[in-house]
Structure 1
Amino acid sequence: MQGVFTGFATIAVVIGVGALLAHLRILDLTAQRILSQVAFFVGSPALMVVTLSRADVHQVLSANLVATAVAVLVPLSIYAGLARFVWRRRLGDATIGALSAAYVNAGNLGIPVASYVLGDASYVAPTLLLQLLVLQPIALALLDADALGRSPSFVQLLTRPFKNPLTVGSLIGVLLSVTGWTLPDFVGNPLELLGNLAVPSMLIAYGIALRLGPGLGAAGSVSELATTSALKLVVQPVVAYAVAHFALGVDGHALLAIVVCSALPTAQNIFVHATRYERATVLARDTILITTMGSVPVILVVAALLG
């Protein structure tokens, strides 16, 4: 379990640095937005190229992918229904809320947890690829279309993701993985260095927002925040377990890996997306905070029951 605590502690320290810098008035909300933009347009695309180029994309065709996909679809659908018929959220706000309820921190937390707790970083690859190549492009297309003030057309859904730097970086990484090509050092080394900007930029920006932004739950509906958090921490891992164990017959360590990956908290880059598009930023921030704290005991319980 040391890997779990190490991963969460690392994230907490960097977020704390951002909050401290904001408290000392060294950085402000303008700096928070700049850091988020740097992460979105520079660091994250570079990180996607480097990370996915080293992943085994063939693992996507596995029971892990099926269980992960269903576990994502269920909370997304529940939140989307509530956002449409109960809270009456606009498209962009509903998109960020849905991502908050189902998009797991498979990168900067999932990779160390998979490595130290599960014994193999490749366990998180199906989740990572599913999110980067399917969920994220669709969500970004919806956010881009919402920013234009009209519902997305089918053509927009197909073409707009390819204009997004994160999607382009992901596709380049997958292409490199599938073909086995290796970037020359004069390209790969700068990309890796730029990719190292992504996670600290996101976490420091998040810490600034925690210190200077509205208080917990100030975005409006407390029930909406409770729903996104419960969908992420409870519904998603339970669905993953049910599909993997009862429908696909997965057991043992493989089952543990699927459930642990689904129990990871909401990813910090959802806050980056929310900031970039100015949609549901406080809901994203608060859900990330609650699920990051809550996922520690959830993962410990999962490990105790299935380990």
Structure 2
Amino acid sequence: MNLVLTVLEITAPVFLLAAIGFIWVRMGFEYQIDFVTRMAMTLSVPCLIFTALMRTEIDPAALTALSLASVGVYAALTLVTALVLWLTKLDLRSYLAPLIFGNTGNLGLPLALFAFGEAGLGYAVVVFAVMALWSFTFGIWVVSGGGSVVRALKEPLLWATILGGIFLSQGWHTPVFLTNTLELTGQMAIPLMLITLGVAVARLRPGSIRLASVLSLLKIALCVGTSWIIGRLFGLDDVAFAVLVLQVSTPVAVTSYLLAVKYGADADAVAGLVVVSTLLSVLMLPLLLAVLL
């Protein structure tokens, strides 16, 4: 019973905040999702990542091991998922990125924070950064059908991660007044991302629910299995291992849908994946947390 209550205490705030966004839109209130998303991804999330890395007391060697494990997980997921899609003759442009990249920002960061505290958040931002880098390069290249893979160099998320890693490794800290400002700005990120997730899900118009359900279940199996195996191979400590599995196993991110719209992939199909995988996560993530705690 105590474990059930603990899992509910961790997951309830996450889904309640998303529900606020969902209900807000259904009631007909305005929500400028483009503005909020841009502010979160260019301002509050980079501040959150930088301060979390700068202030973390985690051994840099442990963060390095987690970084390498994250790279291994996403490399393996990319190869396995591409093979599955090739065998089933499904469109790689539409399905590859959504099945690889989870909602490590909107859902993964707050879950890691609520479940494992500041140490969990420090680990989670590492996985998030690896995912974001691969998504902004390879992910966009796949969805767009080619083109430049250097967009990541323009992303504040990347530079926040690099600076945070440098400050962590050197033991540096910004002046107190600046640290307090950055922390306040970063604290906006989690509630903003969760409410925006609910808004985005409320506005989506999904395509085939049957195919989306099958692929969402496949994503869960591949993500949990791959991250579990590679996490054990790298010998991660219990918290780092749990955060890796949790982050990689989050549902399809709304950004996958936005990229599908922008680059002319099958946006309705991706919307179906976002909706179904997010609904499945209401059951799957608490069960996964119960195993990992």
* TM-score (norm: length of structure 2): 0.77
- Paired residues of 1:59 and 1:125 also in contact (CA < 8 A): no
Distance 1:239 1:177 in 2: 29
Aligned to 1:107, what secondary structure does the other structure show? helix
**Are 1:151 and 2:141 counterparts?**
no
Distance 1:164 1:273 in 2: 17
Change (3 A) 1:112 1:17: same
The residue number in structure 1 matching 2:55 is 54
Q: How does 1:41-80 map to 2 (within 5 A)?
A: 41-55=42-56, 56=58, 57-62=60-65, 69-80=71-82
Distance 2:257 2:133 in 1: 15
**Are 1:7 and 2:10 counterparts?**
yes
Aligned to 1:182, what secondary structure does the other structure show? coil
**Are 1:176 and 2:159 counterparts?**
no
* TM-score (norm: length of structure 1): 0.74
The residue number in structure 1 matching 2:208 is 220
The one-letter amino acid of 2:14's match is I
Change (3 A) 1:83 1:54: farther
The one-letter amino acid of 1:290's match is L
Of 12-21 and 92-101, deviating more is 92-101
The one-letter amino acid of 1:18's match is G
Change (3 A) 1:66 1:180: closer
The residue number in structure 1 matching 2:136 is 140
| CA-based RMSD | 3.5
The one-letter amino acid of 1:197's match is M
Distance 2:25 2:48 in 1: 26
The residue number in structure 2 matching 1:283 is 273
Q: Please, which runs of 5 or more residues in structure 2 have no aligned partner?
A: 262-266
Report how far residue 228 of structure 1 moved: 3.6
Of 165-174 and 279-288, deviating more is 279-288
Distance 1:130 1:260 in 2: 8
**Are 1:16 and 2:19 counterparts?**
yes
Report how far residue 51 of structure 1 moved: 1.6
- Paired residues of 2:15 and 2:282 also in contact (CA < 8 A): no
**Are 1:160 and 2:154 counterparts?**
no
Change (3 A) 1:38 1:83: farther
Of 276-285 and 197-206, deviating more is 276-285
Percent identity over the alignment is 14
**Are 1:298 and 2:288 counterparts?**
yes
Which one of 173, 183, 194 corresponds to residue 203 of structure 1? 194
Change (3 A) 1:40 1:264: closer
The one-letter amino acid of 1:177's match is L
Q: How does 1:97-136 map to 2 (within 5 A)?
A: 97-100=99-102, 105-115=107-117, 121-122=118-119, 125-126=122-123, 128-132=125-129, 134-136=130-132
The one-letter amino acid of 1:97's match is L
- Paired residues of 1:145 and 1:151 also in contact (CA < 8 A): yes
Report how far residue 299 of structure 1 moved: 2.8
The residue number in structure 1 matching 2:224 is 237
Report how far residue 43 of structure 1 moved: 1.8
Aligned to 1:100, what secondary structure does the other structure show? coil
Change (3 A) 1:274 1:238: same
Distance 1:37 1:266 in 2: 25
Of 4-13 and 80-89, deviating more is 80-89
**Are 1:262 and 2:245 counterparts?**
yes
Q: Give the structure with the higher percent helix.
A: 2
Q: Please, which runs of 5 or more residues in structure 1 have no aligned partner?
A: 116-120
Change (3 A) 1:89 1:171: same
Change (3 A) 1:244 1:48: closer
- Paired residues of 2:26 and 2:202 also in contact (CA < 8 A): yes
Aligned length: 280
The residue number in structure 1 matching 2:264 is none
